[in-house]
Amino acid sequence: MREVWKSVLAFLKNTIPEEVFVPWFGKVEFTEDSEPDIINISVPSVPHSKFIKAQYEKDIEEKASEICGREIKLKITVKDPNKGAMISEPFPGPANTLPEEEKAPKSIDEIATKCGLHSGLTFDTFVIGNANRVARSSAMLVAEFPGERCNPLFIYGGVGLGKTHLMHAVGRKILEDNPNTNLLCISANRFINEVVSLSAGGRYSDEKIQKFDNKYRNLDALLIDDVQFLCKRGGTQQRLFNIFEALLPKNKQIILTCDTYARQLSDFDERLISRFGAGLSVSIEPAEFELRAAILLQKAKQQGVKLPLEVAYLIATRLNTNIRELEGALNSVIMRAEVFKKPITEELAKEALQGITGTGRISIENIQQSTAEHFSIKIADMHSKRRVANVAYARQIAMYLAKELTQKSLIEIGYAFGGRDHATVLYAVKKITKERAQNQELNHTLHLIEQDLKNWN
C-alpha cells in the first residue's frame, strides 16, 4: 500500500499548486495498516487532518481505488491532537486603550462585523466544486498560516463566482483562531473614499494623513475587495503601494479580489501589479452544472426551504452565469410558491423562470470569434477541416465554451462548427473539462476568453 500512496501523492502533486501541496502534504507520513484496503497517513495536527479530509479525501480514495482495482479507504491519524489549538499569544497590534467597561469579551460575530466581515460568509457555507477547489484550498492555507505563506493572496474571477465569500471566510477563520488580530476588510470603493477624504477642502491634512497611515500600517491583515476599481486612481494606488511596503516585510497578510488576472489590469502602477503577483494568484472559474445545483440546494437550505432535486437541476440548467443570478432565480421560485401557496415543483419553477436565461446574448458565433482572436487564427478555421494542432485545440476550446455558455445541444454545436457530429463535440467537451481541472494555464486561458465574452452582453 506504500507504493499506492506514492502514486497517489504523485497524482496530487501534479494537480495541486506547489504552494498548496507542500505545506499540506509535505509533512504527511505513510503508516502501514493491518487492514489491506486502508491507506493510513499521519498528519501533524487536528486542523491539518480536517483540511485533508474535507478537501482531498474523495480524490485520494478514488485514485487509490483506481490503482488497486478495488475500493480503498483513507484513514488519517493525528500525531499531536493538541497542536493547532487557539494561539494564546495575540498578534501584536495597537495598544488597547479602551475603558475597562468596554474590555469585556466579545463574540466572534461582533469582532468580525467590526472588522468589516459579513456574517454567513464562512468556509462551512462555501460550496466546493471543480471550479473553485484550488482557490478554496489556497484560502484555507492562508487562514491556517496568515502572513507566512501565499502573501499576498490574489483571488480573481468573474462577477458573482464567490471571490468575496472566500475572502471573508479567510478573515473569519483568522479571527476565530486569533480574536485579537487587527484585521480590516474593505471594498476598493471605500478605500478610494478614505484616500479622497485626506484632501477634503482642496488640501491635505497632516493630521488626517497620520491617522490614515497609523490605521493601515498597524494592521495584521488587510482584505480589499474588487481592486480593479482602483484603475486610473494614481494617488490611491500610491497609498496602497505604501501600505504594501509597510505590511509585507512584517509578514502581515494581504488578500485581494479582482475580476481579472493582475497582469490584465489597465491603468495600474507597474510596481503595484508586481506586488499583486508576488504571492499566490488563484482563479475561481464559472461553476459547472453539479456545483450550480449544489449551491442552489445549499441556498435553499439556508432559507429553511426543501428544494426538490429536479428543481435544482432545472434552475442549474437554465442559468449558467454566476451565483448571484442563481440565487435570484431561486428566490423567484420560492416567492412564487409562497404567493400562490403551492409546493415547489418543476412546473411551478418553469412558470417562475419564464424569460430568465443565464446566457445573455452570447452566441456560438461570439465564442468562435473571441476564441479565434485569442489564438490568432481565422474564424473560418472554426468551420474548416484543418487539423493543425493549434487550430484543432482552439476549436475544441470553443466547442467546450459553447456547451458551457449556451443552451445549444451537442448536435447544434457540431453543426455550427462545420457540420461535425455530436460525438466530436462531446469528445472536445470531455477533454477540455478534464484538462481544466489539472491545468492552471488552460484555466487562465478560458478565464480570459470568458471575460472577453462579457463584452458581447
Tell me if 257 is assigned to a ligand binding site: no
Task: Report the residue count for the chain.
Answer: 457
Count of alpha carbons within 13 Å of 359, Cβ hemisphere only? Answer: 17
Q: Is 385 annotated as a binding residue?
A: no
Q: Measured between alpha carbons, how far is 83 from 132 in angstroms, rounded to an integer?
A: 28
Q: Which residues contact 448 (CB under 8 A, 6 or more apart)?
A: 260, 261, 264, 374
Query: Angle at the Cα of 112 (from 325 to 156), degrees rounded to 5?
Result: 45
Asked if 457 and 405 count as a contact pair (C-beta separation under 8 A), the reply is: no
Which residue is associated with the grid cell 479580489? 257
Q: Is 202 one of the annotated binding-site residues? A: no
304 is in an annotated binding site: no
Kindly report the three-state secondary structure assignment for every residue of 245-269: HHHHHHCCEEEEEECCCHHHCCCCC
3-class SS at 453?
A: helix
CA distance 354 to 364: 23
Do residues 260 and 449 lie in contact, with contact meaning Cβ atoms separated by under 8 Å?
A: no
Instruction: Answer positive or negative: Cα dihedral of 39, 45, 46, 48.
Output: negative
Cβ atoms of 77 and 42 closer than 8 Å: yes
Report the b/e string of 278-289 with b at 16+ CB within 10 A: ebbbbbbbbbbe
Residue 338 CA to residue 454 CA, distance in Å, equals 34
User: Which residues neighbour 98 within 8 Å (Cβ) at sequence distance 6 or greater?
Assistant: none
Q: Please, are residues 121 and 169 in contact by the beta-carbon 8 Å criterion? A: yes
**Residue with cell string 484543418:** 386
Question: Considering only CA atoms, which of 245, 230, 252, 220 is closest in space to residue 111?
Answer: 220
Question: Taking a C-beta distance cutoff of 8 angstroms, is the pair 236, 113 a contact?
Answer: no
Q: Which residues are annotated as a binding site?
A: 160, 162-164
Detail the residues annotated as belonging to a binding site for ATP: 160, 162-164
